[in-house]
Structure 1
Amino acid sequence: MNLKAQIPNFFTMLNLFCGCVALVFVADFGFYWAFGFVCLGIFFDFFDGFFARKFNVAGPLGVQLDSLADMVTSGVVPGYVMYKMLAEAEVNSRFNAKLNTIETLQNEIYVIPFLGFLITVGACYRLAKFNIDTRQSDSFIGLPTPANALFVVSLPLLWNPDVCPYQVIDILTNTWFLLSVTAISAFVMNAEIPLFSLKIKNFSVAKYKLQLFFVLLSVLMLVFLKILAVPLIILVYVLLSIFNNIVNKKASN
């Protein structure tokens, strides 16, 4: 057995392990811990590809393992988080409407929260499509599942008056808002929208000025906005990519 070839697979397994642990915390509404383990899983996901390229040991087994691990960490976890958020939003909305007591409401089964798993379905389709799409070696088409996972898993962390004003929290806990996020999330992962990659092969300020600007802006947002910066960074990433596509299209005409 080539031990060097197993190093990337080891990091992939760590990604999968982090995803499994995150699921346990989501089940108990431990969203902060779940977010932390998703971040750790994405960190390991980056290094499995890094070592595969560095040791020149990339192969079909690693590709399949990577997608299976991502399916848990960046597919099942955000879908489960959205399910939990929608369930909580449903309970709160019905309680505020004084339709029943909180004890009875918590024992009811709602259909709407299960729609949160459309994120999982969208992630599964994207990962399968990514494995056979030869166009995404240097950039992405559609939002990568790890970025989408970070966006979704960070949302319940904003349900805190120390992070967001009450008016914003009211929006973030609204069932229709969460369903909209679910639909947009599943769509953007699979949309034919070219997104710039942060992989830098031959460093050049002129060539990678967009990437450098995005990284600098992300750091500043994290410093000043902290956890609120996470979903905003993903939004900025998509919007910058769309703007870059428009500029490049005009330049080529």
Structure 2
Amino acid sequence: MKKHIPNFITLLNVLCGCVAAVFAVLNKLEVAALFVLLGIIFDFFDGLAARVLNVRSELGLQLDSLADVITSGLVPGIVMFQLLGMSRTGGWNADFSSGSWNLLAWDDVTLSILPFFGFVITMASAYRLAKFNLDENQVSSFIGLPTPANALLILSLPLILLYHNNNFLNGVILNQWFLVGLTILSAFLLNSKIELFALKFSNWSFKDNALRYIFIILCIVLLATLKFLAVPAIIAFYVLSSMIGNTGKKNKRNETS
């Protein structure tokens, strides 16, 4: 019986992803973000449950990635679709038939093709997760940006629009070229060769986990002060600090060799 507990938690992630996708299609991006966050929490606890119960399996690994394709792959793609649609009209109630990109038509429906570029994120996420399932080295670290982290980055954008309501930030986020550039950057980071540290503790020593402790403390401080604007800052720090740490490791290896 206990071997099914982690898989059931993973299926709750699938459910959250499906619900989030529905709300994202309806342009209720705040609710979509809430269910994505809930799905990511289930994604964390299914692995934890598998380790605690010692019931890790190949089925669980495959199911976990399939769940992430929905929650952390499909939903961010839909959200970027919506944001790109808003960038064509400059408002929350996007008219996807407006603008000069009206190249996709079916019966009485005419859509701008630009918003569909957002699904590059979904494609890149699916490709990353497929590679992850075949890679046995990503245990204490990740190669490329994890899909949940990328999902939080994309989902933070509509929350910044809703809760910060800053004209400058709104202008940047609803700029179509910024969104196109972010989509390309997102796809690159997901499948890059950058080694990123994982928040997995083999012990509680500060010396061995200094970067992890600093990262957690910084996340708490930034979230308390910057709210949703903290999310892009945290992701940027995560990537940059990992790159700096990797450079330090390489220098130490060169000195000892």
Q: TM-score, normalised by structure 2?
A: 0.90
Distance in structure 2 (CA, Å) of the matches to 1:172 and 1:227: 13
Distance in structure 2 (CA, Å) of the matches to 1:11 and 1:232: 30
SS, match of residue 172 in structure 2: helix
Cα deviation, residue 168, structure 1: 2.0
- Residue type matched to 1:189 in 2? L
- Residue type matched to 1:117 in 2? F
- Structure 2: tracts of 5 or more residues without a match: 100-108
Q: Within 5 Å, which residues of 2 pair with 1:198-237? A: 198-237=199-238
SS, match of residue 112 in structure 2: coil
Distance in structure 2 (CA, Å) of the matches to 1:164 and 1:138: 39
1:196-215 Cα shifts (integer Å, max 9, x gaps):
01011222110000000000
CA 1:104–1:18: 2 relative to 1, 3 Å: closer
CA 1:231–1:198: 2 relative to 1, 3 Å: same
SS, match of residue 109 in structure 1: strand
The aligned counterpart of 2:23 is 25
Q: Within 5 Å, which residues of 2 pair with 1:60-99? A: 60-92=58-90
Distance in structure 1 (CA, Å) of the matches to 2:24 and 2:200: 31
More strand as a share of residues: 2
- Structure 1: tracts of 5 or more residues without a match: 94-101
Cα deviation, residue 84, structure 1: 0.7
| Structure 1 runs of 4+ with >4 Å offset | none
Cα deviation, residue 92, structure 1: 2.8
Cα deviation, residue 250, structure 1: 1.8
What RMSD over aligned residues (CA atoms) do the two structures have, in Å?
Answer: 1.7
Q: Is the 8 A contact 2:81 2:118 kept in 1?
A: yes
The aligned counterpart of 1:130 is 132
How many residues are aligned here?
242
In the alignment, which of 111, 114, 138 is matched to residue 112 of structure 1?
A: 114
SS, match of residue 205 in structure 1: coil
- Residue type matched to 1:179 in 2? V
Cα deviation, residue 104, structure 1: 6.8
SS, match of residue 44 in structure 1: helix
Q: Is the 8 A contact 2:97 2:112 kept in 1?
A: no
Q: Within 5 Å, which residues of 2 pair with 1:236-251? A: 236-251=237-252
Distance in structure 2 (CA, Å) of the matches to 1:11 and 1:109: 38
1:166-222 Cα shifts (integer Å, max 9, x gaps):
112101100000000000101101000000010112221100000000000000001
Q: TM-score, normalised by structure 1?
A: 0.92
